[in-house]
Amino acid sequence: MNLLPLSSLDNRGGESVPVLCKPAVAVPEHVITREQTLALCADLHRDHPRLALALRLIANTGVEKRHLVLPIEQVLHHPGFDERNDRYEEEAKLRVPPVIRQALDNAGVTAGDIDALVYVSCTGFMMPSMTAWLINNLGFRPDVTQLPISQLGCAAGAAAVNRAHDFCAAHPGANVLVVACEFSSLCYQPTDLDVGNLLSNGLFGDGIAAAVLRGAGGHGIELRYQASYLLPNTEHWISFDIGARGPHFRLDLRVPGTMADLAPVIARQARDHGWNASDLDLYVIHAGGPRILDDLARHLRVRPEAFWASRQTLSEYGNIASAVVFDVLRRAFEVGMVRDGTRCLMAGFGPGITAELTLGTCVGEDPPDPVPRAPRPLHAVAEPLRLPHQRRSGRTTAHDRMHAHGRVHARDRRHARGHGAAHGRHAADDHGTCCDSDGHPRRLRRRR
C-alpha cells in the first residue's frame, strides 16, 4: 500500500490543499449509563450460559454513558425492521439539518457553496439516499455531487474524508460536506444472544456529525496524504448478518488484536513521507474500544495520553461508529490543539477489516466569526432546526455569491449568513423537537 498525495494543488504556485474544518456533533437526549446497561443485561439474560463473560466485556468497554435516539423502553421493544427503518428516516430528517448548519457556519460557507455531499451511515437504509432529501430541503444546489456510503461501518467516517479529498483533487477549489448519522440503537436485537451482539449493546451509541472540506482557505487540517488498507482474511470479523428483523451485529473476539498488524502499516506509511508516527502532535483515532486504543498506542510507541480525545468520546458517547473521528477532532479544536503547523494522523477502522488513514498539517487561519448562540448542553451543539419548507430570506443568489474564481470570499459569506439569520426561523429545543412560532413543540410527521 502506498500513501497517496491527496492533491497536487500545493505544487501549483501556492494554491492551498483542501482543509478539513471544525466538525459539528450532536447526540440524542436519552441517556443510559454503564451501570444501567449492566443491570439490564443481567436481568434480560439471567439464564445465558455466558452471561458473566458478557458482563465483563461490557464493564471493560470504557463507556460511562451513551446517548440513544429513543427512550430505552422503546429501544428494548422491537416493532419490526420496517418500523425501525422508518424511524431512522424520521429521526435523521429531524436531527441532521441542525448539525449541517452548524458545520457550514464553522467553515464559513453556505449550502450554496457546497459542490459535493458525502453521507455516511450503516444503521439505516434509504433509497433515494438521504443526500437527495438534504439537497431538496436545505438549500444545496441541484448539481451537487452525491456520494452515500453505507457498508464501511466505523471506518466510513475517515473513508468519507478521504473520498471527499479525492473530489477536491479532481475539482480544485471545490467544497465538500461530509455527514455521518448513526443510530445504532435502532439495530438492537432483543432475541440475539450472541456474545458479540450482547457486547455491542453496551458499546455503541447514537450520534450525528458533519464537517466541511474547504477547497481553499479555512482553519483546520490540510490533509496531505491518504491510504486505505484491508487486513487480509478478516472480512468476517466485523459484520452484519441480515435477518427478517434487520441487521445482527457480529464481532469476532480477535478484533482488538488487529492493531498489532495495522500499527506497522501506519508507521511505514508515515515514514515513507518523512513523518514519524510515534512523534506527531495530534491523533484523531477511531475509538472502537479501550483495547484498540491501548494496543495501537503501544505498537506505535505513542504515550497513551496522546489518544485522550478518543478516550473522552468513548467514555461520554460510546462508539458512535462513523461519527467518532469527527467528535475526536471537534474536541481537539475546542481545546486549541488545531494550531498552525500541528501534524495530525487520522485513522478509522471498521469491517473488512478496513483501515482508512490520513496525514495532515493544521493551518492556523482565524476561524470565521461565529453565529451568536445561547449556551447549550453538551448533547445539543447544533443550531435550531428549520422545517423543509422554510428558507433563509434575504439570501443572495448562487450567481451573486460567486467571485471570479468560483468561490465566495469568507467575509461575503458571513455577511450573507448574518443577513439571513436576521429573519424569522422556527426554533428547536435542545432535544431536537421542532417548535412552531408560538414555541409549541412539533415533530416532523412519520412517513407511512
* Grid cell listed for 125: 437504509
Q: What is the pLDDT of residue 399?
A: 33
Q: For residues 125 and 115, which has the higher predicted lDDT (pLDDT)?
A: 115
Residues belonging to the active site = 154
**Residue 106 pLDDT > 80:** yes
Q: What is the mean pLDDT of residues 412-420?
A: 38
Question: Using 50, 70 and 90 to split pLDDT, how confident is the model at 354?
Answer: very high
**Residue 109 pLDDT > 80:** yes
pLDDT tens-digit series, residues 253-265: 788 889 999 999 9
**Residue 442 pLDDT > 80:** no
Question: Using 50, 70 and 90 to split pLDDT, how confident is the model at 249?
Answer: confident
What count of other Cβ atoms lies within 10 Å of the Cβ of residue 404?
5
Q: For residues 156 and 368, which has the higher predicted lDDT (pLDDT)?
A: 156
pLDDT tens-digit series, residues 16-32: 689 999 999 999 999 99
* Mean pLDDT estimate for the chain: 81
pLDDT tens-digit series, residues 373-405: 333 333 434 333 333 333 333 333 333 333 333
DSSP 3-state of 201 = helix
Question: Using 50, 70 and 90 to split pLDDT, how confident is the model at 107?
Answer: very high
- Closest by CA to 45, choosing from 202, 271, 275, is 202
Write down the pTM of the prediction.
0.78
Report residue 176 CA to chain centroid gap.
Answer: 14
Q: Are 255 and 318 in contact (CB under 8 A)?
A: no
Q: Are 239 and 351 in contact (CB under 8 A)?
A: yes
Question: Using 50, 70 and 90 to split pLDDT, how confident is the model at 365?
Answer: low
pLDDT tens-digit series, residues 151-169: 888 899 999 999 999 999 9
Q: What sections of 13-139 are H helices per DSSP? A: 34-44, 51-59, 72-76, 81-107, 130-137
**Residue 143 pLDDT > 70:** yes
Q: What is the pLDDT of residue 254?
A: 86
Question: Using 50, 70 and 90 to split pLDDT, how confident is the model at 412?
Answer: very low
